[in-house]
Chain A
């Protein structure tokens, strides 16, 4: 809906969509690397740009039940990861509102 230009980040190492190189997040802002997604390694970020969000759904993750929604690259509509909406267990509350980007679907952009 509407035309939106991509946001560009200023950083030395930027992770972007593997398909269209759209900037997604800056490498320095990784919070944790200790995640696994469907395709392997994944990182937790506090903020990502140039994404569209899908509908929220309840899923059972290895760490418990969560409400998550998939996120897509705005330009090419490819899935790049997911976002935590709600965590039901107290230990997992820190993930709420943060994003996971799967390493397999990313590329480094300079």
Chain B
């Protein structure tokens, strides 16, 4: 029976021990490099010979692999010294296998085909360029004995069950080895290899990688497809390790063998050209690339390279890059169990994170630190803005639009009265009052650098104001009907104004008012937005069309007709999605590229009013909207679930909401009750805000108590 199993007292023989617990991993005893091959060796003697540092001092035993990674293991050395010699006896089968391995690190440990050097491993200078080929294990031997197969020895005794909490042991172990290598713990990874008996990659894969990176094309091809290309077999079987020498790799089901061959030969050809060996290159072109009959266009391009290759490009690094890229391309066609995708463990952790964040309803991270892995991520409801901290009643008309500046310092409000107010957000005092309009003001738009503000009014004019002084610097007057919307280009030099005119309703002009372009269209513009990357202009018209224009070419990209009247449009910060409020009480989130409706949010009431919504939250994970029933609705953007319904406005519609870009726990809303409400989280007030609240006229204090 297994002495090994008895030496551990825990019922689960294999415990996941990473990081600080690595020291508890018992060392596999049978690691001495000077072991004879026979199996009946005394266990104790083997154990004695084993020490953590033998790895770095191995004598050449098997074959003539040059010892390369001196530097690398010495870096990992300190870690190894803490490891106690606890390990007793490996099982018989493992003994056999371990003895036949070459325990030295052969290649500087790196990752899957790229030349990234992991922290903690240094690659030896001489073969720096193209020997970084291993993925997850240090030592390998090409012509190792036949008992070594892909991943684990079949005769290994089963003292550990192959089921690790529901996951396949082999997969988990190999992932861990790869992860350790990525983290730089090469010693630990090596030990894990030895103890578990798994390798991240089989010998064939290592040989394949080596062949590609060294430029041994015929080896590479034979590894991929089978020793003899003219064999009738398709060559996608995995070998069971009996054939002497490397056998072919297992490919994915639908791997395009022709394409892979083409890629390999293409690289060979290009390299020959780079080294100016034109004769050989032509030979390759004729004998190898031509008969493949794959993609004649590329073939022609390659032949064209022959004549156009003027630069004497002997750049070694470019060749190395090409080979690595080839490796990455080809590895996509190799079965993932043979070649694990790069950084797979990190990928999986990312997915877990994303899943947790997607489920976290109140996710509104004010800091940018990612959630810890130790606890499932759940955001606290108390961090969410739920409470009105300030109510501003300076507006003498219904409030139709509020908007924070991009730096979060100012808040502009406008509405039925023709006065526009600019508040400072620190104290919420009125900084400027802008009087020049003659009719109600429907929209304001801050410039990207917050130095200017455009206001659009129903007196058919749009005005550009200097935000610091409150002076009007420009009047845009080219339309008969109300100007409904305006937008800045990201460079702050041009603006687009839209109106409900039948003609000339969408104009691009520079800031000093010179009109540069007017889109010809019959659709009256109700709202427009420019994507933050400056690429597209999205226009929403009252005839229920959404039209997307390319801003640089001014051409129309596409136009979709929606089912109901729309009331507002917003573009997300990543320029990929837009949010549209519809009169049938839905809010649609539409992908700009594909024009597909990604999400729908319901719950708010619109009737016929212009109700505006906004993206909210620290990384735009929320959708906020007003509603005609005096409530504010907040949804989780990814889930579509309604998180909160906030009451506070007394009557009429909540026309507009705006989230503070600088403070993710503050947003403002404006409604028909002529009030602007600032919402923040439950326990937040700064001293200035508190003073402000108390200085509001006392007859409103009872309402505050009701709210809070």
Distance in Å from the Cβ of A91 to the closest Cβ of chain B?
35
Q: Give residues of chain A (67-98) contacting chain B, Cβ–Cβ below 8 Å.
A: none
Say whether B201 faces chain A, with CB atoms less than 8 Å apart.
Answer: no
A6 in contact (CB, < 8 A): yes
Using Cβ atoms and an 8 Å threshold, which residues of chain A touch B546?
none
Residue B609, interface by CB 8 Å: yes
Using A7-B542, A8-B524, A8-B542 as known contacts, say yes or no to A2 and B609 having CB atoms under 8 A apart. yes
Q: How far is the CA of A75 from the CA of B423 in the complex (A)?
A: 29
B653–A5 contact, CB under 8 A? no
Among candidates B416, B542, B628, B672, residue contacting A5 with C-beta atoms closer than 8 Å? B542
- On whether A3 and B609 interact (CB within 8 A), knowing A8-B524, A8-B542, the answer reads yes
Complex-state Cα separation, A25 to B504, whole angstroms: 23
Closest Cβ of chain B: how far from A82's Cβ, in Å?
22
Identify which of residues 408-454 in chain B touch chain A, using a CB-to-CB cut-off of 8 Å: 415-416, 440, 442
CB of B269 within 8 Å of the partner chain: no
Of residues 1 to 28 in A, which have CB atoms within 8 Å of B's CB atoms?
1-8, 10
CB distance from A39 to the nearest CB of B (A): 27
Is the pair A2, B672 in contact by a Cβ cutoff of 8 Å? yes
Contact A3 B500 (CB under 8 A): no
Interchain residue pairs with CB less than 8 A apart (24): A1-B398, A1-B609, A1-B653, A2-B398, A2-B610, A2-B611, A2-B653, A2-B655, A2-B672, A3-B400, A3-B440, A3-B609, A3-B610, A4-B610, A5-B482, A5-B484, A5-B526, A6-B500, A7-B542, A8-B500, A8-B502, A8-B524, A8-B542, A8-B543
The 7 A-B residue pairs whose C-beta atoms are closest, nearest first, are: A2-B609, A2-B653, A3-B610, A3-B400, A1-B652, A1-B672, A4-B609
B608 contacts the other chain (Cβ, under 8 Å)?
A: yes
Of A7, A8, A10, chain B has the most CB atoms within 10 Å of the CB of A8
The answer for the CA separation of A3 and B484 in the assembled complex, in Å, is 11
CB <8 Å contact, B524 and A3: no
Residue of B nearest to A75 (CB): B458
Name the distance in Å between B543's Cβ and chain A's nearest Cβ. Answer: 8
A1-B398, A2-B398 provided; 12 other pairs, C-beta below 8 A? A1-B609, A1-B652, A3-B415, A3-B416, A3-B655, A5-B482, A5-B526, A8-B502, A8-B524, A8-B542, A8-B543, A10-B543
Q: Mark B602-637, 1 if CB is under 8 A from A, else 0.
A: 000000111100000000000000001000000000
Closest Cβ–Cβ distance, residue B649 to chain A (whole Å): 12
Number of residues in A with C-beta < 8 Å to the partner? Answer: 9
A2: chain B residues at CB < 8 Å are 398, 609-611, 628, 652-653, 655, 672
Chain B residues near A8 (CB-CB < 8 A): 500, 502, 524, 542-543
Using CB atoms, name the residue of chain A closest to B439. Answer: A75
A8 to B542, CA, bound (A): 8
Chain B residue nearest to A7 (CB atoms) is B542
Quote the shortest CB–CB distance from A63 to chain B (angstroms).
33
Which A residues lie within 8 Å of B482 (CB)?
A: 5
Complex CA gap A1/B609 in Å reads 9
**A-side contacts of B652, CB under 8 Å:** 1-2
Chain A residues within 8 Å of B655, by CB = 2-3
Minimal beta-carbon separation of A11 from chain B (angstroms): 12
Interface of B is mostly: loop
Residues of chain B touching chain A, judged by Cβ–Cβ distance below 8 Å, are 398, 400, 415-416, 440, 442, 482, 484, 500, 502, 524, 526, 542-543, 608-611, 628, 652-653, 655, 672
Residues of A within 8 A of B611 (CB): 2
Do A3 and B542 touch (CB < 8 A)? no
Residue of A nearest to B502 (CB): A8
Cα–Cα, bound, A105→B442 (Å) = 28
Which partner residue on chain B sits nearest A109 by CB separation? B502
Which chain A residues in 45-84 approach chain B with CB under 8 Å?
none
Minimum distance in angstroms from B401 CB to a CB of chain A: 8
**Could you say which residues of chain B place their CB within 8 Å of the CB of A1?**
398, 609, 652-653, 672
Q: Kindly name the residue among A2, A8, A10 whose own CB sees the greatest number of chain B CB atoms within 10 A.
A: A2
Shortest distance from the beta carbon of A100 to any chain B beta carbon, whole Å: 23
Residues on the B chain within 8 Å of A10, using CB: 543
- A89–B524 CA distance with the chains assembled, in angstroms: 44
CA distance A10 to B522 in the complex (A): 10
List, in ascending order, chain B residues with CB within 8 A of A4's CB.
608-610
Q: How far, in angstroms, from A6 to B608 measured CA to CA in the complex?
A: 10
A6 surroundings in chain B (CB, below 8 A): 500
Nearest residue in A to B671 (C-beta to C-beta)?
A: A2
A7 to B541, CA, bound (A): 11
Contacts of A3 in B (CB 8 A): 398, 400, 415-416, 440, 442, 609-610, 655
- Cβ of B543: which chain A residues have Cβ within 8 Å of it? 8, 10
Of chain B, the residue at the smallest CB distance from A2 is: B609
Whole-angstrom CA separation of A1 from B611 in the bound complex: 12
CB distance from A18 to the nearest CB of B (A): 16
Nearest chain A residue, comparing its CB with the CB of B611: A2
Q: State the Cβ distance, B286 to closest chain A Cβ, in Å.
A: 68
Q: Which residues of A contact B442 (CB under 8 A)?
A: 3
State the CA gap A5–B481 with chains docked (Å): 11
Note all chain A residues with C-beta closer than 8 A to B398.
Answer: 1-3
In whole Å, how far is B518's beta carbon from the nearest beta carbon of chain A?
19
Expressed in whole angstroms, the Cα–Cα distance for A4 and B440 within the complex equals: 12
CA distance A6 to B524 in the complex (A): 11
Cα distance A6–B672 when bound, in Å?
18
Give the complex CA separation of A51 and B500 in angstroms: 18
Q: Please, which residues of chain A bring their CB within 8 A of the CB of B440? A: 3
Which residues of chain A come closer than 8 Å to B416, judged between CB atoms? 3
Alpha-carbon separation in the docked complex, A6 to B484 (Å): 11
Which chain A positions have C-beta within 8 A of B484? 5
A81 and B415 CA atoms in complex are apart in Å by: 29
* A5 vs B652: C-alpha distance when bound (angstroms): 17
Q: How far is the CA of A2 from the CA of B440 in the complex (A)?
A: 12
Bound Cα distance A4, B500 (Å): 12
Alpha-carbon distance between A4 and B611 when the two chains are bound, in angstroms: 9
Q: Most B CB atoms within 10 A — which of A1, A3, A7, A10? A: A3
CA distance A1 to B653 in the complex (A): 7
| Nearest CB on A from B181, distance (A) | 61
Task: Give the Cβ gap from B568 to chain A, nearest Cβ, in Å.
Answer: 10
Tell me the complex Cα distance, A8–B557, Å: 25
Q: A6 to B460, alpha carbons, bound, how many Å?
A: 14
CB neighbours (8 Å) of B526 from chain A are 5
* Least CB distance, A8 to chain B, in whole angstroms: 6
A7 to B583, CA, bound (A): 13
CB distance from A6 to the nearest CB of B (A): 7
Measured between beta carbons, the chain A residues less than 8 angstroms from B415 are 3
Which residues of the partner chain A approach B672 to less than 8 Å between Cβ atoms?
A: 1-2
Q: What residues of chain A lie closer than 8 Å to B610, measured between beta carbons? A: 2-5
CB proximity of B442 to chain A, nearest CB, Å: 6
Residues of chain A within 8 A of B628, CB atoms compared? 2
Q: In the complex, A7→B611 CA distance in Å?
A: 16
Q: Which A residues touch B608, using CB under 8 A?
A: 4
State in angstroms the CA–CA spacing of A10 and B608 once bound together.
Answer: 19
Q: For the complex, give the distance between the alpha carbons of A5 and B443 in Å.
A: 13
Best-surrounded residue of A5, A6, A7 (most CB of chain B within 10 A): A5
B138 smallest CB distance to A (angstroms): 69
Alpha-carbon distance A7/B398, docked complex (angstroms): 21
Instruction: Name the residue on A nearest B610 (C-beta).
Output: A3
